[in-house]
Amino acid sequence: MKRRLFILTATSLGLIGSVILIAEAQRDRPPMSFFVTSKGSGDGANLGGIAGADYMCQTLAEGMGSTKTWHAYLSTRAGDNAVTVLHARERIGTGPWYNSKGELIAKSLADLHGNNNNLNKQTALTEKGQTIKGVGDTPNMHDILTGSRPDGTAYPRDDMDHTCYNWTSNKDTGSAQVGHFDRTGGGNTSWNSAHATRGCSQANLAATGGAGLFYCFAID
């Protein structure tokens, strides 16, 4: 009887110790400050403009208990819809940024847009902490809307549409620049500027391996 009681007591203490260690690990984990949206707008690249994209980032983050201020990593260009040019890199604060598991994505803007970031298929998680389907998965959803050049700045005014009319179009015409969160495909490993989409509709985005997802960063 005493031996059984000893075993039960030791087991209980072991379980309590494990719970304490898990709680301490969660307490020490940096709060989430980066994620890939778990869903798009459902209307192609029409995100309701830059304000609509920011609102979606904020809503998804708050749904997971975040109290931070969130912005979408998207650039715009001057002229379309009377929107002034906005550079994605200037909208997201200065870092550091962590995913929902507390893993460091980048310490600074320089690291994020250089070779020292930690953004890949294993770390580019949604706000729910889930991985996203990329190259080799069905369906492939590795195209992430950015409208940006590799350094995080907007494209200069030219004859191409890099932002699907500043994130308000769901038409077959136009295009948006996208990155590959899994750093794979088409010979381009850029997370933020791999290629342009074939159009702005939901079907157009899916045709090149996307679902209208985008990056969200906490600015504070």
Segment among 6-10, 41-45, 87-91 with least mean pLDDT: 6-10
Q: What is the mean pLDDT of residues 175-188?
A: 91
Token readout for 33 is 């400050």
pLDDT for residue 31:
98
| CB count in 10 Å sphere of residue 93 | 17
Each residue's pLDDT tens digit, 60-119:
999 999 999 999 999 998 776 767 899 999 999 999 999 999 999 999 999 999 999 999
∠ at Cα 33 (176, 178), nearest 5°? 15
Cα separation, 194 vs 180, in Å, equals 6
Q: What is the mean pLDDT of residues 175-203?
A: 94
Each residue's pLDDT tens digit, 126-151:
999 999 999 999 999 999 999 999 99
pLDDT for residue 6:
40
Q: Are 180 and 143 in contact (CB under 8 A)?
A: yes
Cα separation, 188 vs 85, in Å, equals 26
Q: What is the mean pLDDT of residues 179-207?
A: 94
CB-based contacts of 106, cutoff 8 Å, min separation 6: 95, 96, 97, 112, 116, 117, 118, 119
Q: Across all residues in the chain, what is the average pLDDT?
A: 89
Q: Are 181 and 121 in contact (CB under 8 A)?
A: yes
pLDDT for residue 160:
87
* Residue-range domain boundaries for the chain: 1-30, 32-218
Q: What is the pTM of this model?
A: 0.88
Q: 45 vs 186, which has greater pLDDT?
A: 45
pLDDT for residue 12:
52
Segment among 11-20, 90-99, 180-189 with least mean pLDDT: 11-20
Q: What are the phi and psi torsion angles at 7 (to 5°)?
A: -65, -45
CATH 3.10.100.10 for domain 32-218, yes or no, is yes
* pLDDT above 90 coverage of the chain, percent: 79
What DSSP assignment string belongs to 134-170? -TTSSS---EEE--B-TTSPBPPS-SS-SBHHHHT--
Q: Are 95 and 109 in contact (CB under 8 A)?
A: yes
What distance separates the 2 farthest-apart alpha carbons in the chain?
84
